[in-house]
Copies of this chain bind each other. A is one copy, B any other.
Amino acid sequence: MDKIDRERIIIDEALKVFSQKGYADTRMADIAKAANMSYGLIYHYFENKEKLFDAIVEEWWRGFYDELERLKKSPMQAGDKLVAIIKFILDVYNQKPNQVSIFVTEVSRGFVYHVNSKGKDKFNTLFALCQDIVREGQLQGVLRNDIQANYLTYVFLGAIDTFLSVMVLGNESLTKKREERIIEGIISVFLYGAVAASAVDKKA
C-alpha cells in the first residue's frame, strides 16, 4: 500500500471517529483501530493528533474556499451565487456528512482552536467571502441596500448553519428531492422573507 493510500485511509477513518466522538474524546488508538493499523503508524504520516485534525479540516476547507473564490469571481448574478453556495454545501453533506459535521461542531465554533485561532480565522474568512458576494448583490441592486451587508450575511449563513446542525444532530440523510426543497425553502425565505404575502406591506 503506498503512502498516499495510507494517508487517505487515516484521514477518512479519523474523520469518522472525530465526528462521532468529538476531538477531545477521540483517542489516537480509536483512530488506529478504525483504520485497522497500529497507532504508531499514524505518526509516520501525521506529526500528531492536532496536525491530523488540521489535515482533515484543511481538506474540506480547501474545497469550500476554492468554491467560494470561484463563485466570487464568476459572472453569475449574486442571487444565483448564493443558491450555488447552498447547493455546494448540501452536496458535500450528501457525500461526506461527517466532514460537514466536524465543521459545524468543532471548527465553526472553534473549540479545538480555543487557544490558537485557526478556527476563528477560517470562520471569519468564510464569513467575509459570503459577505463580499452579498455586497455584490447589493451593488447589483438585487439585494436590499437599506440593510448592512453583514446582517444579510448573518441570516444567510445562519440559515445554512442551523439547518446543518439539525441535520447533523439528527443524523439525517438527504434525498435529491429533499435537497431541492430545502434549497428552495431557505433561499426563498432568505430572499423574500417569512411574512405571508397577504400580510405584506413591506418596509413601510
Q: Which residues of A contact B (CB under 8 A)?
A: 20-25, 79, 104-106, 108-111, 114-115, 120, 123-124, 127, 134, 137-138, 141-145, 147-148, 150-163, 165-166, 169, 182, 185-186, 188-200, 202-203
Are B189 and A115 in contact (CB-based, < 8 A)?
Answer: no
Are A104 and B115 in contact (CB-based, < 8 A)?
Answer: no
Known A105-B111, A153-B162, A189-B190; further 12 A-B contacts with Cβ < 8 A: A22-B114, A24-B24, A24-B111, A25-B115, A137-B194, A141-B199, A144-B189, A144-B195, A147-B188, A150-B166, A155-B159, A155-B194
* Contact status of A156 and B194, CB under 8 A, knowing A185-B147, A185-B148: yes
Q: Which of B115, B185, B196 contacts A145 (CB 8 A)?
A: B196
Give Cα A185–Cα B193 distance, bound, in whole angstroms. Answer: 12
Are A192 and B195 in contact (CB-based, < 8 A)?
Answer: yes
Q: Which of B24, B152, B166 contacts A127 (CB 8 A)?
A: B166
Give Cα A182–Cα B163 distance, bound, in whole angstroms. Answer: 22
Are A165 and B108 in contact (CB-based, < 8 A)?
Answer: yes
Most buried by B among A21, A198, A199: A199
Nearest CB on B from A156, distance (A): 7
19 A–B pairs (Cβ distance < 8 Å), ordered by A: A20-B114, A22-B114, A106-B111, A108-B109, A109-B109, A123-B165, A143-B196, A144-B195, A147-B194, A148-B185, A153-B162, A155-B194, A156-B194, A157-B162, A158-B159, A158-B160, A162-B162, A192-B193, A192-B202
